[in-house]
Amino acid sequence: MSVLPACTAVLPGYLCGQMDILLYLVPSMAVAFLFWMLSGAHPAFFLLTAPGTLCHELAHFGVGLLTNAEPTNISLFPRRKGKVWELGSVTFSNLRWYNAAPAALAPLLILLLPIAVAAWRTGPGWHFAPIDLVLAVLLAPQFLSFWPSPVDWRLASRSWPWAVLLISGGVIYLWNDLLLGLVRG
């Protein structure tokens, strides 16, 4: 019996076709969960999440450069802000409605790294090798750092005109036959 029909009953067909990639990433996600638990247990364990923090802040910085948000400062050293720790930050001097969302939500691009490694490693005839255990540990911090912080989401809300344009475009794309019928009819 094939697994594909059972999979498509639960998940979209595209995801079922990528099951090898998803299966390959499960150990990395488990290690990420372990890192998250350990980093909450003692401040010294923040070193386990430091590579992810570096990628998170570099994503902000890089996309900020590309979108003319003009990053002026990047901090990669943890510091206390009230009752919480700020692991890193990037400061922009030209954050406007057109570049706020791309610069603030740039860490979402980090998820492409584990997906690309998984796609590379799960080629035809793939099997787990010792290198895959090392890769699972190296990719784990990326799963902890790809989600934008609440401050990032607040900054991204400055780009609300993009949301209007994207929603309008989506409505036109999804209902183009209905809209064309109304215009012609």
What is the C-alpha to C-alpha distance for residues 173 and 146, in angstroms, rounded to an integer?
29
In the chain, count of helices (H) and strands (E)?
10, 4
State the pLDDT at residue 14: 63
Q: Which of 47-51, 89-93, 130-134 is predicted with the least confidence, judged by mean pLDDT? A: 47-51
Helix, strand, coil shares, percent, the chain, to 5: 70, 10, 20
pLDDT: which is higher, 152 or 79 = 152
**Model confidence, pTM:** 0.75
Mean pLDDT for the stretch of residues 149-166: 82
Tell me the pLDDT tens digit for each residue of 108-142.
999 999 999 998 888 877 788 889 999 999 999 99
User: Which carries the bigger pLDDT value, residue 126 or residue 33?
Assistant: 33
The two structure tokens encoding residue 121 = 């490693």
pLDDT at position 1:
42
Q: DSSP state, 111?
A: G
Q: Among 70-79, 104-113, 171-180, which range has the highest average pLDDT?
A: 104-113
Whether the per-residue pLDDT at 85 is higher than 90: the answer is: no
CB atoms within 10 A of CB 161: 11
Residue 49 has a pLDDT of: 81
**149 band by pLDDT with thresholds 50, 70 and 90:** confident
| Bridge partners, residue 89, by sequence | 75
| 39-63: burial string, b at 16+ Cβ within 10 Å, e else | beeeeeebebbbbbbbbbbbbbbeb
| CB proximity list for 107: less than 8 A, separation 6 or greater | 55, 56, 59, 60, 145, 146, 147, 148, 152
Contacts by 125-131, CB closer than 8 A, 24 or more apart: 126/20, 126/24
Q: What's the burial of 96, exposed, middle or buried (CB within 10 Å: 0-12/13-18/19+)?
A: middle
Confidence of residue 8 (pLDDT cuts 50, 70, 90): low
- Return the percentage of the chain with pLDDT > 70, whole number: 85
User: Does 172 have pLDDT greater than 60?
Assistant: yes
